[in-house]
Structures are given as C-alpha cells and as structure tokens.
Chains A and B, each alone.
Chain A
Amino acid sequence: MKRPYYLFSNGRLCRNQNTLCLERATDARSPGAEVAGDRLPLSEIPHRINPESPTGGDGAPQGQSDPAEEPVATGAGRQRDEDAASQEESGAVSNSLTSDDGQPSGELTGESIPFPIESAESIYCFGEIDVNSKLVSFLSKHHVPLFFFDYYGNYTASLYPKEHLLSGRLTVEQVRHHTNQERRLRLARSFVEAALANIRRVLRYYASRLEEGTEGIEEAIRKIESIKKRAQEAEGPATLMGLEGQARRRYYRTWPTLLGGAGENFSFERRSRQPPSNPLNALISFGNSLCYSVALRQLYHTALDPTVSYLHEPGDRRFSLALDLAEVFKPLLVDRAIFRLVKTRQIQPDDFEERLGGVYLTESGRKTFVEHWDERLRQTIEHRRLERKISYERLVRLDAYRLTRHLCAPEDDPYEGFEMWW
C-alpha cells in the first residue's frame, strides 16, 4: 500500500540505487532538538548508521538567539568549514560564505534512512531538505509528488512530476466546460453546494454533542441553508465564491461554542491568513494547505488537468482544480481534524508561537496535526455504491472520477460533489 511520508528533520533526500534515502542532518534551527520524528515506517526498514560520520547534537551550532528572526543559523558557517572535507566526501557541495547562502544550515549526521520508492505515494518536506536533479527524475519516474513547507509551516511549493495519464479529449472537454458560462456555473455550483452540505453536516454532528448553545447552532444552520438556496440561483462563479465565504464566516462564528470547554483558550474573531492572527486561524491555514495537497496528489493520478477549474479562476501559479476539490473536503478533513485535536486537548495553546506578526504551529504542533491528519486520511467508511470500505483520502479520488464522468456525459452522469452521508 502506498502512502505519504512526512519528513520533519533536516537533511538530504536522495536516490540511492533504487531506493529513496533520507540522510539526516542536525537541526541548526533549534540546536539539540530531537531530530527523530519523521513519519517514516521506521520499524519496517533497515536502519543504517555510518559510525564514521560526525554525530548530531554535539556538532550543532550554539548561541542562536531567536530562531524566528534568523531562521538560518549564524554560527553554522565556521562549523561548515571544519567539516567541509567530510561533506565533500559524501557528495555535498561545501561553501561557507554567509549564513543565508542557500547552503544546508545543518550538518549531515551520517545517519541514513533508506526507504522503498514503491511505498511512497508522496513526500512532505517540513524540515530543510536538500534535493538534487537525480532525485527529481527518480521521483518523477515513480510518479511521486513532493510538497514543500517553509520554516513556519506555510505551504510553499509542489514538485508535480511529469503527467503520466493524459487524455487529450478529456482536456478539451474540461476546457469546453470552463469556457461555456452555463456549463462552468453548473460545476461551480456543485462544488459550493457540496461544500455547504458538508459544513451543515459538521455543524449537526457537533451540535448533537452540545449541552448548551444549540439555538445558536440551529440559527447558523438555517443561515447556511438559506445561503445554499441562493447559491442555486447565483449567476456567476464570483457570486458563488462570495456566498461560500459568507457561509464560512457564519460557520466560523459557531466554533467557540462547538469547541466547548477546550475552546476557551482559542478565540476566533475572524478568519485571517497570511499571516494567521491566532491559533485557530493557524490551524485552519495549515489544514487547508494539507487538504489542497491531498486534492492535488489525487488529481495527479487521474487524466484531469489540475489547472482548469470551475469555481476558482484558473491559476497561473497554482493548481486551481485542486482548490475546487479541496473546498468540498475541507469540512470532513480539515475542520473535523481541528475540532478533534482541540477538543481532546491534543493541541494546546503552547503548540503555537508568534513569528513575524503571525501565529504559527510549532514544530511539535505540526507533528501532532500531521499525525492525526494521516490517520484521518486512512480512516475508512463503507461506500454505498461500491459496497466496500473506502478511505477518506480515496473519497477525493472518487470525486475526481465523478468529475471525469460529468465531463464525458454531463447530462447522463452529472457531477454531484461528495456529501458526507454519515
């Protein structure tokens, strides 16, 4: 079974014969920090440590005052000089000019973790990971996308391998459905309707667990239902986006109530991003970016073109069809993950830190989130039509297939976005 891998440590990801290999580096950003923590199936793979290489911890540069202001260790330069020889031996290009010269900010520890490419569905780089072109070709050949996150946990880039499933005529249909106003609207509406239906589902689910404050929730549900009705008559994607935003704002206002006691330490106020202004916003932003990446990697395994979208405007620098799909799945995947993590107090106020005027999850907070996220994606539900268990992640793929069917036969097989039925 293929699955995503989440790399939190620093180091170098490389191709080693026919396997992937993570060569760990010390964490120059938080010296002495525990480097283990990658979500790799460590128990299943041989652990190889080269005893001759410098070990981590001791070699980590000291005296870093505030990692927030200076994410790259200033003390690392001299350290690198001394270790230049050993780095060159292992193939790294060593150059120690300034602290932010694009060089790795940690030292390779000599710890090398191989893992089979066949088991990797995608790879998430949360730490500072070096890659080279050999690796990129290798990943591309095996159809493994790579997702990068910066120091703050902001999603920064995807390495989307060369398309491996192409259908020219499907692409033509995809574009035709975009350029025809009526056809586009029909699809855009389906995305919004499904998104709102799922929001309503989440509200119902948590309202039934509330002891007080249910009237407020009921009122929000009515409001969202009325917005959903208006969405059915909306005359353009922009209006639909507006209505969706309106529904989300109303929905977010219920969060303090829904979160109950555990939510006391989490005020919401309003949705803010870039940067998120408080912990809940930080969770939403982080979760939404993971959701987008899931939609994108599922689209990659279909013949759909991820840049031709219906609700969102087609993007130049983003895969906007993944945004359309993510909208449908955010309530199930992101919002419910947040509720679970906050209500069970797995995520607490000390899992956040203020940086550059924004609030972000700490590294350990991100690990907690990703751990739950990964479990959630693998959680299954009995699918009524397929009559077998389907993982939450696979539901996203099925939606991509539904969209494909719509594009082939819009009248006989219209797209209806996924709606939670449980």
Chain B
Amino acid sequence: MSAPNSAPPRSSFRVGGMLVGYYVLCPRKAWLSMRGLWMEQESTTVALGRQIDENSYEREQKEIMLTAEAPNGTPLIGKVDWARLDAGVLHETKKSPSAEEAHKWQLRFYLWLLALNEVTGPQGEPFAGELNYPKQRRTEDVRLTNAHTERLQEIVQSLQALSRQKSPPPRREERSFCQKCAFEELCYG
C-alpha cells in the first residue's frame, strides 16, 4: 500500500519502556540508543542489574510482553519484569534507586500500555505499579494519573522527533550525572 507523499515513511520506529526511561534521564542517551549505539554490552552495572532481575521473584509470572498504539499512532511495546495479575500489580525490579525518576516513568509507561488496552485489575480498577529494589529491600508504589498520561504522550512525540534528528542532543550540563552512565565513554572519552 502506498502512503501519500506528505506522510512520513513508515519505519520500524517504536517506543519501549527502557527508551522512555532513557529519555527522561538524558535525551542524548535516548538518541544514541535509537541509533544502535549501544553501550551496555560491557557495563558491569547493567550485567549486575540483569542478574538481580533474573534471580529475584523467581516464583512470579515474569516477562510479560505488552503492545499498544499511542493516540498519535506510534507503536508502543513493553516488556514487564513481572506481575501479580490477580492483584492487579505490575512490578519492575531495579538494582539501585539512583535513577528512580526514570524507573517510575518506565513503569508508568507499562501501566499506560495496559490502560490503552483497557486492561484492568480483578475489581475493574486500574493496575497499580510497584518498583522493587531487592538489594535495598525497598519498594515504591507507582500510579498512573491523567497528568502522567499526558506527559507520556509528549515523551512519545519527542522521541519520534528525536529519531529523525540528524545529530545527537547535547550532553547534560551536570558532568557528575554522567559518571555512572554506561554511555559515559561514548560521550566524554
């Protein structure tokens, strides 16, 4: 099927939860990863995070794939760490709360995917989210409000614009912020 000339070419562009988290932290990181410039293959922090993820909550239902379409037509995809479907809770396991803001947005994004699919909990209530930091023995409740939903739509818009941008956004101002980032050497090396 041929698209009208004015429409952007159909691409494989889609937004996932991790990309949303990246964008909230640092649009440059999101741009680089959209380019296939991965930096996490060697990061011990990331490897450790994966281990914690794999070895925690082993009895629960893990890795649930979600897909949806944003109101503007962007395909959305999510891979939820684990869930308690009978209680209506999505969980996301993280190594440390150092990028908690990004973690919250990632989880809100998954909650949004469920909402877009009109999936609710057993009593018809919206799903709730819970961030788990097993190493710190800490959990954090995450909810999706209307304001969050609007913000998520904006983020998806921005990511779409970013994916068409020829060169990367600037580095973040605070240098100290980047010290734990797996992309640090790509930005400052």
Binary interface encoding of chain A residues 367-397 relative to chain B, with 1 for a CB under 8 A from any of its CBs, else 0:
0000000000000000101100000000001
Chain B residue contacts of A383, Cβ below 8 A: 189
Contacts of A170 on B, CB cut-off 8 Å? 35-37
Encode contact with A along B155-189: 1 for CB under 8 Å, 0 otherwise.
00000000000011010000000000000111111
Given the complex of chains A and B, what is the CA–CA distance between A405 and B36 in angstroms? 13
Instruction: Verify A167–B188 contact, CB threshold 8 A.
Output: no
B136 at the interface (CB under 8 A from A): no
Q: Which residues of A contact B184 (CB under 8 A)?
A: 386
Among B42, B168, B187, B189, the residue within 8 A (CB) of A301 is B42
Interface string of A154-176 (1 = CB under 8 A from B): 00000000001111111000000
Q: Size band of the A side of the interface?
A: 20 to 34
Contact among B38, B42, B167, B187 for A412, CB-based, below 8 A:
B167
Cα–Cα, bound, A397→B187 (Å): 12
Q: Distance (Å) between the CB of B174 and the closest chain A CB?
A: 14
A250 close to B (CB within 8 Å): no
Looking at the assembled complex, report how far the CB atom of A388 sits from the nearest CB atom of chain B, in whole angstroms.
Answer: 9
Are B167 and A408 neighbours in the complex by a CB distance under 8 Å?
yes
* Cα-based distance from A412 to B171 in the complex (angstroms): 11
The verdict on A404 contacting chain B, using a C-beta distance below 8 Å, is yes
Chain B interface residue bracket vs A: 10 to 19
Name which residue of chain A comes closest to B176, CB basis: A387
**A404:B167 contact, CB within 8 angstroms:** no
B50-71 to A contact mask, C-beta < 8 Å, 1/0: 0000000000000000000000
B171 → chain A closest CB, angstroms: 9
B41 and A301 form a contact (CB under 8 A): yes
A398-B168 in contact given A164-B41, A170-B37 (Cβ < 8 Å):
no
A404–B167 CA distance with the chains assembled, in angstroms: 11
In the bound complex, residues from chain A placing their C-beta under 8 Å from that of B188 are: 385-386
- A-B interface contact total, Cβ < 8 Å: 46
Q: How near does chain B come to A404, taking the closest CB pair, in angstroms?
A: 7
Contact B189 A408 (CB under 8 A): no
Within the assembled complex, what's the spacing in Å between the Cα atoms of A412 and B37? 18
Interface residue? A303 (CB, 8 A): yes
Residue in contact with A167 in the complex, picked from B35, B42, B189, CB distance below 8 Å:
B35
Question: CB-CB < 8 A to A268: which residues of B?
Answer: none
Residues of B within 8 A of A252 (CB): none
Cβ distance A295 to chain B, nearest Cβ, rounded Å: 15
Q: Which of B38, B168, B185 contacts A409 (CB 8 A)?
A: B168
Contact A165 B36 (CB under 8 A): yes
In the assembled complex, how far is the CB of residue A4 from the closest CB belonging to chain B, in whole angstroms? 15
Interface residue from B41, B42, B170, B189 paired with A398 (Cβ < 8 Å):
B189
> Does A401 reach chain B (CB closer than 8 Å)?
yes
- Contact partners of A165 in chain B: CB under 8 A: 36, 38, 41
Report A-chain residues with C-beta under 8 Å of the C-beta of B37: 167, 170, 303, 404
B42's closest neighbor in chain A, by CB?
A301
Q: Which residues on the B side are within 8 Å of A398 (C-beta)?
A: 185, 189
- Contact check, A409 vs B189: say whether CB atoms are below 8 A apart: no
Task: Report the Cα distance A385→B188, complex, angstroms.
Answer: 6
- Known contacts A408-B168, A409-B167: does B36 contact A167 (CB below 8 Å)? yes
Q: Please list 21 pairs of residues, one from A and one from B, whose beta carbons are closer than 8 Å in the complex, sorted by A's number.
A: A165-B36, A165-B41, A166-B36, A167-B36, A167-B37, A170-B35, A170-B36, A301-B42, A303-B35, A303-B36, A303-B38, A383-B189, A385-B188, A386-B185, A386-B188, A397-B185, A398-B185, A401-B189, A405-B187, A408-B168, A412-B170
15 other A-B residue contacts (CB within 8 Å) besides A165-B41, A170-B37: A164-B41, A165-B36, A165-B38, A167-B35, A167-B36, A169-B36, A303-B36, A385-B188, A385-B189, A397-B189, A398-B185, A404-B186, A405-B186, A408-B35, A412-B170
